[in-house]
Structure 1
Amino acid sequence: MDIQTRKLNLITYLAQLQDESFFDKIEEYILSKLEKDGNNKPFSIEELNSRIDQSLEDSTNDRITNSNDLLSEFK
């Protein structure tokens, strides 16, 4: 089973999950993992504004990717 299928299966499972205590444990694990890996830092105001400016410039200069094109790259 490929990673994309596994992710979709997990999302489907989580969407149907009714046991709040189990969901709390999953959420706690994910948040602790993100914290441990250091991938959960919020952007500074300067970083956020810089990304917004870059995105606006990319959009103005037609440097965008259509969502359908992006999806087809993953299939």
Structure 2
Amino acid sequence: MAIQATKLQLSKIILENEKTDFWDELSISEQKEIKKGIKDLDNGKRISYESFLEKIS
């Protein structure tokens, strides 16, 4: 039982100390591409999954 309690305590400490946001780890270029994709979706610019697969094949 002590091992389980220790694991829970360690997990809690790790989660509390996790302050890194993945967004901050992306390059400016990657952030711009994601923002553009969100804007395109908001404006109704979408393609089907099948069309996407055809484009990358």
TM range (shorter): 0.3 to 0.5
Instruction: Provide the TM-score with structure 2 as the length reference.
Output: 0.41
Q: Higher RCO, 1 or 2 (CA under 8 Å, sep at least 6)?
A: 2
Q: TM-score, normalised by structure 1?
A: 0.32
Structure number with larger C-alpha Rg: 2
